[in-house]
Amino acid sequence: MSLREPGLWAAQFSAMGGPCEALFHGVSEGEARRLGTMAAAEAWRIERKYSRYRDDSVIGTIHRNRGRDMILDEETARLVEFARECHALSDGRFDISCGVLRHAWHFDGSSRLPDPQQVAALLPRVGFDKLRWNAPRLMLPEGMEIDLGGLGKEYAVDRACEQLATECRCPILVNFGGDLRAHGTPPRGAWQVGIERPGQEESVALLLDLARGALATSGDARRFLLKDGVRYGHILDPRTGWPVVGAPRSVTVAASSCVEAGVLATLALLHGPGAEAFLGAQGARHWVLH
Amino acid sequence: MQLKADHGAIRRQLMLASCSLLGVATARAQQAGDAAAPVDTSEQTFESAISYYHEDGRITAIEPMVSLHSDDGNGTQHTLSAVFDSLSGSSPNGALPSSKPQTFATPSGSSLNSTAQTYTTASGQSTTSVAPTYVVDAGQLPVDPKYQDMRVALSALAQQPLRAFDRWRFGGTLSWEHDFLSLAGNAGYSRDFNEKNTTLSAGLNEEYDLLKPIGGAPVPGSDYSLFQKQGNKNKNGVGLQLGVTQVMTRRWLAEFNVTADRFSGYLNDPYKIVSILDAQGNTTGYVTEKRPGERLRRSAYLENRVAFDRTTVTVAGRYMNDDWGVHSSTLEANLRWWNPDHDRYLQPSVRWYRQSAADFYTPWILASTGNYSTLETADARLGAFHAATFGLKYAIKISRTGSLPGQEPSEFNVRLQVYRQDADQKRANPTALQDIELYPALRAVMLQVGYRFAY
pLDDT tens digits, residue range B122-138?
A: 555 555 555 578 888 88
Nearest beta carbon to residue B40 from set A68, A89, A277:
A68
Does A168 lie in the same domain as A45? yes
Task: Give the pLDDT confidence of A249-265 residue by residue, as tens digits.
Answer: 888 999 989 999 999 99
DSSP for A10-33, please give it.
Answer: EEEEEETTEEEEEEEES--HHHHH
ipTM > 0.90 (yes/no): no
Q: Do A130 and A74 share a structural domain? A: yes
Residue B40's closest chain A neighbor by CA? A70
**Nearest-CA distance B31 → chain A (Å):** 11
- Contact (Cβ atoms closer than 8 angstroms) between residue B378 and residue B272: yes
pLDDT of residue A90 exceeding 80: yes
Dist CA B290 CA B267 (whole Å): 9
User: Is residue A43 located within the same domain as residue A67?
Assistant: no
pLDDT of residue B218: 92
Same domain, A40 and A80: no
Amino acid found at B376: E
- Whether A251 maps to a domain, the answer reads no
Put simply, whether B27 touches A (Cβ < 8 Å) is no
| Number of residues assigned to chain A | 290
**CA of residue B370 relative to chain centroid, distance:** 38
Task: Tell me the residue type at B392.
Answer: L
The architecture in CATH of the region B43-99+143-454 reads Beta Barrel (2.40)
Regarding whether A178 and A111 lie in a shared domain, the answer is: no
Give the integer Cα–Cα distance in Å for B3 and A165. 36
- Give the A:B interface size as CB pairs under 8 Å: 140
Last residue of a domain, one of A189, A214, A244: A189
Q: In this complex, which of B19, B21, B38 lies closest to A62 when CB atoms are compared?
A: B38
- A64 & A117 share domain: yes
Its domain, for residue A90, covers 58-149
Q: List residues bridging with B186 in a β-sheet.
A: B171, B205
Q: Which residue of B has its CA nearest to A162?
A: B26
Which of A71, A85, A281 lies closest to B38 in CB terms? A71
Number of structural domains found in chain A: 2
Q: What is the pLDDT of residue A53?
A: 81
Residue of B198 and B348 predicted with greater confidence? B348
Is residue B30 very low, low, confident or very high in pLDDT (cuts 50, 70, 90)?
very low
Q: Are strands A242-245 and B43-55 parallel, antiparallel or unpaired?
A: unpaired
- Let me know whether A46 and A166 are in one domain: yes
What is the percent of chain B where pLDDT is above 90?
A: 49
Residues A73 and A88 in one domain: yes
Residues A18 and A46 placed together within one structural domain of the fold: yes
For residues A127 and A172, membership in a common domain is answered with: no
Same domain, A132 and A1: no
**For residue A125, what is the domain's CATH number?**
1.10.3980.10
pLDDT recorded at residue A116: 86
| Residue A24 domain flag | yes
**A216, part of any domain:** no
Determine the distance in angstroms separating the CA of B168 from the nearest CA of chain A, rounded to an integer: 22
Asked whether residue A197 is assigned to any structural domain, the reply reads no
Task: Output the pLDDT for position A205.
Answer: 65
Residues A66 and A127 in one domain: yes
pLDDT tens-digit series, residues B226-261: 888 888 999 999 999 999 999 888 788 899 999 999
Whether chain A has a CB inside 8 Å of the CB on B204: the answer is: no
Q: What is the pLDDT of residues B34-78, one digit of tens each?
A: 333 344 446 788 889 999 999 987 889 999 999 998 877 667 889
- The reported pLDDT for the residue numbered B451 is 93
Q: Is B44 on the interface with A (CB under 8 A)?
A: no
Helical packing angle, A29-50 and A74-89, nearest 10°: 70
- pTM comes to 0.58
